[in-house]
Amino acid sequence: MSYKQNVGYKNLEFDRDSIFLVTGGAGFIGSNLCEALLDMGYQVRCMDNFSTGKRENIEGFLHNKNFTLIEDDIRNYGGCLVACKGVDYVLNQAAWGSVPRSIEMPLLYEEINIRGTLNMMEAARQQGVKKFVYASSSSVYGDHPVLPKKEGQEGELLSPYALTKRVDEEYGKLYTKLYGLDTYGLRYFNVFGRRQDPDGAYAAVIPKFIKQLLNDEQPTINGDGKQSRDFTYIENVIEANLKACLASSEAAGQAFNVAYGGREYLIDIYYVLCKALGKDIEPIFGPDRPGDIKHSNADISKARELLGYEPEWSFERGIEAAIEWYRENL
């Protein structure tokens, strides 16, 4: 297989009659997964309770004969069992995100992110699902200082959100070891792109900045803006999910960094956005956010080696596409 074919996901092939279940399918990442799979011609079930997902994210799919919407909650085990019946691949994206919100609502995070994910794993096992791919997070690295972040070098956790994802990974490991369910945890690093919500107190930074700048508002940067992140465009995340579905059983029971492997400083991103949008607005610098880590960038060699992950969207290319999308859709 040539390198070109290895890059991205458009050339990946599954059995034609494969059925995919995307939980949290009306959310930012989930709806992009649904769309990619429908475009490739596969059957997609989307399970969402619309607590954070949005109907407008999936409106365009409702008339597609290959698309089924299941309005249910991953906290309802019976609903999970029904949703998994006859499914080949589960892409479990349903969860509540946001470090600060988890610090405010630890009980809810435990219910949704731990029990909900466990319900899905158990349902997948009972229904004989082939592959169970689930969203983890770079937050599992906690306060470990070494960069780039590498699987197996995790520090003390800094938030209930991070703990929920660590627990999901432990269950994933056990479900592979004890029951033979092929599970793959994807540690997302700061994903951005089309359909990411710019609104609300817990909005991610890129869409929030773009919206504020388009409205000529002065954005607030938490801390000094010198924090760095490995911002990962949504297309790379779709690739990782689909390649995990095709990965060997030897790679199961593990977690993988999903990122581009770059390092962007928040203040630099801010000025890139200002320039791209033709704005000259100085930001306000606010206090550091509790539970945040200062620097986060990924070593992606494990995903490269075991999943064949070859991200083709750099930060620069992704930010261009994202800005274009927000200009048209905000």
Q: Is 265 a catalytic residue?
A: no
Distances, alpha carbon 139 to alpha carbons 95, 143, 220, 279, 292, in Å = 14, 9, 22, 32, 9
Cα torsion 116, 121, 122, 123: sign: positive
Nearest in space to 259 (alpha carbons), one of 306, 314, 317, 204: 314
Instruction: Say if CB 123 and CB 181 are below 8 A apart.
Output: no
Q: CA-CA distance, 74 to 84, in Å (whole number)?
A: 11
How are strands ordered across the β-sheet holding 228-229? 264-265, 228-229, 295-296
DSSP 111: I
Q: What Rg do the C-alpha atoms of the chain give, in angstroms?
A: 19
Which residues make beta-bridge pairs with 213? none
3 state SS for 221-240: EECCCCCEECCEEHHHHHHH
Classify strands 228-229 and 67-71 as parallel, antiparallel or unpaired: unpaired
Q: Which of 283, 313, 110, 90 is nearest to 205 (CA)?
A: 283
Task: List alpha helices for 61-204, DSSP H.
Answer: 77-84, 99-104, 106-109, 117-126, 160-179
d(CA 32, CA 14): 18
Output the six-digit token pair for 79.
Answer: 């609903």
CA distance 288 to 218: 18
| Per annotation, catalytic residue among 161, 188, 270, 309 | 161
Catalytic residue numbers, as ranges: 161
